[in-house]
Amino acid sequence: MLFNELALSAPILRAVQEEGYTTPTPIQIQSIPAVLKGGDLMAAAQTGTGKTAGFTLPILQRLMDSKAGEVKTRRQLRALILTPTRELAAQVHQAVLTYGKYTSLKSAVIFGGVGANPQINAIKKGLDILVATPGRLIDLIGQGFISLKEIEILVLDEADRMLDMGFLPDIKRILALLPKTRQNLLFSATFSAEIKALANTLLKSPALIEVARSNSTHEAITQKIHPVDKNKKQALLAHLIKANDWQQVLVFTRTKHGANKLVTQLEKDGITCMAIHGNKSQTARTKALADFKSGKITALVATDIAARGIDIDQLPHVVNYDLPNVSEDYVHRVGRTGRAGSNGIAISLVCIDELALLKDIEKLTKQTIPQEIISGFEVDPKIGIQPIKAARSVRHQAQQKNNPQARRQAKSQALKSRAGQKNNT
């Protein structure tokens, strides 16, 4: 199947061709005709499947079609795309601009964390399509800059993330402001009970599309484990980047502090890098992402939350510097590479402390990830499970006194402390 068999008009096809895409991805083959028909859609699709073009292209087409023949004195906002994160909003808007560049449709993106004035100015010029995060949208509706009365198409992108991030009340407030008759498109990587409940209230006889199981990792991704001691991880990462001449690598750490520390160490090794996490300002995050995309820096070190929705064309390497505490995050992290039609490599540096996490990940993804020891970084068999800071003093006592009760207490503290790290991303 080729794009030009999908009932898209010449201005849209021209933009798609300029991006170098000739064949639609599986989700696009299903979603484009479904959206063009005008009905509701519920799609299970992760980032990396081509889902953004899957809804953007037919929305542009529908807006172009419905505009023809209508004489409107003023542009009306007719399509609203909601995303959970600022980064995703910016990326989706970039897709709207790219695919819509030969149409006369106007669009804007709004999100929090930056000044509202440039966004308000863009809105005042008149819009057909708005990409927004829920908070800033409600803010600007409240201030009277946006009306949703003429919305014909609503998209909820990464709806599961939106609910995870606590946006359900905001979404409900927004839904209450929309016209009753409209087209609704819901995209979500997973389908929890909450998502199904939302879909039930939102969608009318939706077309259902599923392109990948939610917990499967992509075939185009080569996954590998390098067993290594914790204190040698940084040296191993620097070695891998230099020895393999990696030009663009996204590195995941479990904590913000860990991300900052790693950046400082990699810089000492002469590797250009930046961190992206929740303590960084929006300006710093945007700059880090732009420098990473343009190749100015080699490594981008991110926590899971900051990395949500990052879309980088054909990202070649992802490294799990720490394994995530939540196995599903492994699937999301690894999904940043091996994008539509290209191959990717996902490497995990795993120390003895993380073997239980690795087991959980392999169980979830139903695979055994191949292991490879890198020469010079062999695991020291004398190193046991490393004491977690909070447990150190009690554990020390236990070793001193050879006291089994204190040893049990130390072990339970270590487990609790590890579980607590979950909240520090």
Q: Least distance from C-beta 45 to ligand AMP, angstroms?
A: 7
Nearer to ligand AMP, 70 or 313 (CB): 313
Q: Least distance from C-beta 305 to ligand AMP, angstroms?
A: 18
Q: Residue 255 and residue 425: Cα distance in Å, rounded?
A: 5
Q: Which residue has the tokens 């007719």?
A: 78
Nearer to ligand AMP, 1 or 385 (CB): 1
Nearer to ligand AMP, 158 or 354 (CB): 158
Which among 224, 218, 219 has a CA at the least distance from the CA of 350? Answer: 224
Nearest residue to ligand AMP, scored by beta-carbon proximity: 52
Please tell me whether residue 16 adopts helix, strand or coil conformation.
helix
Nearer to ligand AMP, 140 or 331 (CB): 331
Q: Least distance from C-beta 119 to ligand AMP, angstroms?
A: 23
Nearer to ligand AMP, 281 or 314 (CB): 314
Amino acid at 252: F
- CB count in 10 Å sphere of residue 94: 14
Q: Least distance from C-beta 129 to ligand AMP, angstroms?
A: 16
Q: Least distance from C-beta 27 to ligand AMP, angstroms?
A: 8
Nearer to ligand AMP, 51 or 256 (CB): 51
Q: Is the dihedral of CA 262, 390, 381, 227 positive or negative?
A: negative
Q: Least distance from C-beta 212 to ligand AMP, angstroms?
A: 11
Strands in 41-44's sheet, in edge-to-edge order, are 107-110, 129-132, 79-82, 153-156, 183-188, 41-44, 207-210
Q: Which residue has the tokens 């009318």?
A: 204
- 111, 90 Cβ separation under 8 angstroms: yes
- Name the residues that contact ligand AMP, by CB under 6 A: 21, 23-25, 28, 47-53, 311, 313, 339-341
Give strand ranges (E) for 19-136.
Answer: 41-44, 79-82, 107-110, 129-132
For 341, phi and psi rounded to 5 degrees? 80, 0
